[in-house]
Amino acid sequence: MRRRFGALPIGVLAVALVASGCSETTNDADGGNQQTVVQTGSIATDPADSLGPAKAVDGATKGGTVKLLHAAEFEHLDPQKIYVSDALSMATQYARTLTGYKEDGTGALKLVGDLATNAGEDVNGDCKVWKYTLKDGLKFEDGTPITGADVAYGISRSFDPEWGVGPTYIQQWLTGAVEYNTTYKGPFLSAGAEVPGLKAEGNVITFTFPQAQCETPFAVAMPTTAPVPKAKDTKGDYDRKPVSSGPYMIKEHAYDQFIDFVRNPNWDPATDPIRNAYPDGIRVEFGIDAEAGANRVVADAADDQAAFIWANVPAAVLSKTNTPEVKERVEAGASQYVEYTWINTARVTDLKVRQALNYAVDRDAIIKVRGGVDQFGSTIISPTIAGYENFNAYDGGQSGNAEKAKELLGGKTIKLTYAFPNVPVRQQMAAKTKEVYAKAGIELVLTPLDPATYYDSVGTKGNQYDLIRGGWGADWPSASTVIPALLDGRTIRDKGNQNLAYFNDATINAEIDRIKGLKATESAAEWAKLDKKIMTEFAPLIPQYYIGNYEIHGSKIGGTFLSDSYGHMTLNTMFVKP
């Protein structure tokens, strides 16, 4: 999945605000669910909250190695390129950022200073100038001090037009332009030039924006602000072995086989309020699909007792998790992700075809392939976002309406390419989708793609895919990080697109601008109205389901829970039981 953020309220330095309308759904293995508490969050105003060390976990012990069983290589490890949930979760251990999140699994999150001494200083009180001061004693893995220049250099790399695959908030805000790299193009193409609006003097980093950007404390929690030492920047090869600023560093990386993380001897826990770093190491093993990984963790053999998966337990294994001794090792709950099938509007230009695709979709069948832990979804915005309104613009029932789709198609048979990551569960979902659409006279040409480069492929403008599987969740809990990111046509560029529908309509772009100018309390309902307008009048995608999590770990793993900021079991508090 692309980036998501847990249900945290919007606002500048807001304390203990409730994300209205947000609730968490806990899913059982049989597909049932129950509502739990509303999630809450805050931004720390007390500098003491940003001090380390992180709060100790009851019963935790240091030592041992935890093992992630993973289907495929991470799309990116280079922090300025990361925008997918598994890599974001892993990056927390080697790429610290200006701010970050304290969380305990209860749904309550607190934004604090990570590299910085606090969550940010709004210098003039108008949200246009933000200052961050780095803590003393921060070092890279080789012992070199981390300076403001290293943070600024890291941010500068995100401007490179060849890389545009990560978040673009900071770049667009600094330049005041959607096309943020028309003049400054990063340190490789614009050597010697400065990033517009960004200054680094000693340990102080200052952002000066042409317009007010009151959500800056949230944006700088993303890996865009991870420091990179210029002297150690290997450009394209940095994806294989980035220099660590966190508690772990890469000892060995055999691409598509394994990564071994070991302790970073120069990480100082006294500077870190977020990470406990209990294990001696983290091993990631690739090429293990979700079913094989889940079966190994369920079996709990000696070599896998400290193993875990960052994938939902697949349908074929779910029944094995119902015994009490296994179920206690399951971490289950809602997420802020929505699964879509994008319709490439540059290729599928007929609105009636896009509407037919929406009517024919069999959500129930797809959810069952996934194991039944997800919730029926028909909106662009997740129910966890304030202002969410439930509607279904193309109500074909739980299983779709092939006859309505045929009516819209006028009896024609059409052929469309369907792109998806080439992993077993996605293969099964694609096969079921092909079967479902065939009933409506829609022939799918299944196009499996390498999962390690999937978003790079489908995010390239001019690709040859008509339908594109994709998921998204808010970078923080505002639809301002959903609809503009996904459907503002002015964001479409040659590479790194999040707008996988390649949808561009001037009236929608103008409405996005209008709503972004409203206060957060006013904008929530307006985003929901825009959600309905886009689906009803344009149908650029097919919402399929609201994604639930159902992950499992071995019997010797303790201290973990589903992260509300990244959606997977957290490594921050994880430990190996003796």
Q: What is the CATH number of the domain that holds 350?
A: 3.10.105.10
- Residue 164: the pLDDT is 65
Query: Is residue 447 situated within a structural domain?
Result: yes
Residue 486 has, within 13 A of its CA and on its CB side, a CA count of 32
Q: Which residues contact 246 (CB under 8 A, 6 or more apart)?
A: 92, 93, 94, 95, 96, 264, 267, 272, 275
Calculate ∠ Cα 553-455-437, nearest 5°: 90
pLDDT tens for the chain, 578 residues long, are: 554 333 333 333 332 222 222 223 333 334 333 333 334 447 888 999 999 999 999 999 999 999 999 999 999 999 999 998 999 999 999 999 999 999 988 777 799 999 999 999 999 999 999 999 999 999 999 999 999 999 999 999 999 998 767 899 999 999 999 889 999 999 999 999 999 999 999 999 999 999 988 889 999 999 999 999 999 999 999 999 999 999 999 999 999 999 999 999 999 999 999 999 999 999 999 999 999 999 999 999 999 999 999 999 998 999 999 999 999 999 998 888 899 999 999 999 999 999 999 999 999 999 999 888 899 999 999 988 878 899 999 999 999 999 999 999 998 999 999 999 998 889 999 999 999 999 999 999 999 999 989 999 999 999 999 999 999 988 877 888 899 999 999 999 888 899 999 999 999 999 999 998 887 778 889 999 999 999 999 999 999 999 989 999 999 999 999 998 888 999 999 999 99
Gap between the Cα atoms of 471 and 469, Å rounded: 7
Residue 136: CB atoms within 10 Å:
11
> Tell me, what amino acid is at 56?
A
User: Residue 379 in contact with residue 339, Cβ under 8 Å?
Assistant: no
End-to-end alpha carbon distance in the chain: 34
Query: Is residue 296 situated within a structural domain?
Result: no
Number of structural domains (the chain) is 1
H/E run at residue 535: helix 520-537
Query: Is residue 153 situated within a structural domain?
Result: no
Query: Is residue 539 situated within a structural domain?
Result: yes
- Residue 179: the pLDDT is 86
User: Residue 65 in contact with residue 77, Cβ under 8 Å?
Assistant: no
Gap between the Cα atoms of 298 and 193, Å rounded: 54
Query: Is residue 349 situated within a structural domain?
Result: yes
- Residue 520: the pLDDT is 72
Residue 122 has, within 13 A of its CA and on its CB side, a CA count of 14
CA-to-CA separations, 112 to 23, 100, 145, in angstroms, rounded: 23, 6, 21
Query: Is residue 154 situated within a structural domain?
Result: no
Q: What percentage of the chain's residues is helix, strand, coil (to nearest 5)? A: 30, 20, 50
Q: Model pTM?
A: 0.83
- Tokens of residue 20, six digits: 């209205």
Ranges of beta strands (E only) in 210-348 are: 248-254, 258-263, 281-285, 307-308, 330-343
Lateral strand order in the sheet of 467-473: 375-376, 541-552, 330-343, 467-473, 414-421, 442-449
Query: Is residue 486 situated within a structural domain?
Result: yes
Cα 269 to chain centroid, rounded: 26
Helices (H), 210-312: 216-219, 290-299
Q: Which domain holds residue 444?
A: 334-548
- Torsion angle, alpha carbons of 79, 84, 85, 91, to 10: -10
Q: Which residues contact 456 (CB under 8 A, 6 or more apart)?
A: 75, 165, 495, 496
Query: Is residue 272 situated within a structural domain?
Result: no
- Residue 370: the pLDDT is 86
Residue 52 has, within 13 A of its CA and on its CB side, a CA count of 21
Helices (H), 378-446: 402-409, 424-438
Residue 365: CB atoms within 10 Å:
17
Nearest to 500 by CA among 382, 311, 384, 339: 339
Q: Which residues contact 329 (CB under 8 A, 6 or more apart)?
A: 297, 300, 552, 553, 554, 555, 557
Ranges of beta strands (E only) in 351-484 are: 375-376, 414-421, 442-449, 467-473
